[in-house]
């Protein structure tokens, strides 16, 4: 249950369409639900955080991931599953007919009641090889209600490519900049804009890139103000944070309580 669903339920109670006792029973059931001995699904996550509990398929059996995802979808009306491998995708497709899959980003999702997307989260990738992580960020932000713009393959090996996009970069409420190798692009973008930049190092790169460690350290050591950094290949974390920042930009005063 998210804020919109709770608001609708309270409106139904006020209109006499739902008995107070029935509404209380529904809310009382929502905090979490145990699925056998392997999971306790947090149904109040969307009410607190704006997005239902996200299912990390990594480390879960296909059956476990599918069961959790189906439970989240039934209660929240939308679900996002990350780090989906082929076996997970097969189980999810069987358990949730019509679920959407992005094999490159390793993401599966469904939204039964799509909301209008607002604001401007712009996701930027340095190279084509960084797009899977960038797409994980973009799809996460979209499911969280953000309008997302994509600017891909504008790395520092050809600075004229990112220079041509400066106007679009400056229009964003927040930018997610994804790069592997030496991880320089977030610093370049951070030096061109005043809006916040979330840097995402990827594990793309040759030997001394050390699976993304070189990019991570380069981003952490940026001299550009306004750049923050998430973990290696953490497109989900970047997309979630970008959506949260974007929400504050399009809903002024919502955080003042």
Q: Which pLDDT score is estimated for 63?
A: 93
Q: Which pLDDT score is estimated for 255?
A: 42
Indicate if the pLDDT at residue 35 is higher than 70: no
**Environment class of residue 223 by beta-carbon count within 10 Å: exposed (0-12), middle (13-18) or buried (19+)?**
exposed
Q: Which pLDDT score is estimated for 257?
A: 32
d(CA 222, CA 191): 10
The reported pTM is: 0.80
Q: Which pLDDT score is estimated for 76?
A: 79
- Please state the φ and ψ torsions of residue 107, each to the nearest 5 degrees: -130, 140
Q: Which pLDDT score is estimated for 4?
A: 65
d(CA 40, CA 85): 22
Indicate if the pLDDT at residue 256 is higher than 60: no
d(CA 120, CA 101): 24
Boundaries of every domain in the chain: 31-111, 118-250
Indicate if the pLDDT at residue 69 is higher than 70: yes
C-beta of residue 120 within 8 angstroms of C-beta of residue 175: no
The tokens for 225 are 């103000």
What distances in angstroms separate CA 243 from CA 48, 49, 50, 148, one per listed residue? 14, 11, 9, 9
Q: Which pLDDT score is estimated for 201?
A: 97
Q: Which pLDDT score is estimated for 5?
A: 67
Q: State what percent of residues in the chain have pLDDT above 70.
A: 85
Of the two residues 121 and 78, the one the predictor is more confident about is: 121
Pick from 44-58, 130-144, 210-224: least confident:
44-58
Output the average pLDDT for the chain. 87
Across the range 118-130, mean pLDDT stands at 96
- Residues 162-204 pLDDT 10s: 999 999 999 999 999 999 999 999 999 999 999 999 999 999 9
Closest CA to 30 of 18, 13, 48, 57: 48
Across the range 108-125, mean pLDDT stands at 92
Q: Which CATH number fits domain 118-250: 3.40.50.1970, 3.40.30.10, 3.40.50.1580, 2.60.450.10?
A: 3.40.50.1970
Indicate if the pLDDT at residue 50 is higher than 90: no
Of the two residues 128 and 33, the one the predictor is more confident about is: 128
Across the range 230-254, mean pLDDT stands at 89
d(CA 44, CA 36): 19
Q: Which pLDDT score is estimated for 75?
A: 80
Confidence of residue 254 (pLDDT cuts 50, 70, 90): very low
C-beta of residue 236 within 8 angstroms of C-beta of residue 144: no
Q: Which pLDDT score is estimated for 250?
A: 83
Confidence of residue 215 (pLDDT cuts 50, 70, 90): very high
d(CA 53, CA 161): 37
């Amino acid at each position: 249950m998210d804020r919109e669903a709770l608001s609708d339920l309270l409106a139904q109670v006020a209109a006499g369409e739902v008995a107070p006792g029935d509404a209380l029973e529904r809310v009382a059931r929502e905090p979490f639900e145990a699925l056998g001995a392997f999971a306790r699904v947090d149904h109040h996550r969307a009410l607190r955080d704006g997005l239902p509990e996200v299912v990390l398929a990594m480390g879960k059996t296909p059956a476990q991931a599918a069961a959790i995802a189906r439970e989240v979808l039934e209660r929240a009306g939308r679900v996002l599953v990350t780090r989906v491998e082929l076996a997970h995708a097969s189980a999810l497709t069987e358990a949730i007919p019509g679920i959407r899959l992005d094999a490159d980003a390793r993401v599966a999702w469904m939204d039964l009641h799509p909301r209008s997307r607002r604001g401007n989260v712009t996701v930027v990738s340095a190279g084509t090889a960084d797009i899977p992580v960038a797409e994980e960020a973009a799809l996460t932000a979209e499911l969280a209600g953000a309008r997302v713009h994509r600017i891909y393959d504008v790395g520092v090996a050809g600075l004229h490519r990112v220079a041509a996009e400066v106007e679009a970069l400056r229009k964003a409420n927040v930018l997610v900049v994804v790069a592997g190798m030496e991880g320089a692009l977030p610093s370049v973008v951070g030096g061109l804009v005043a809006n916040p930049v979330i840097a995402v190092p990827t594990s793309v790169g040759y030997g001394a890139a050390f699976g993304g460690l070189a990019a991570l350290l380069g981003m952490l050591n940026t001299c550009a103000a306004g750049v923050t950094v998430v973990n290696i290949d953490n497109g989900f974390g970047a997309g979630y944070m970008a959506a949260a920042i974007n929400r504050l930009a399009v809903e002024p005063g919502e955080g003042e309580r």
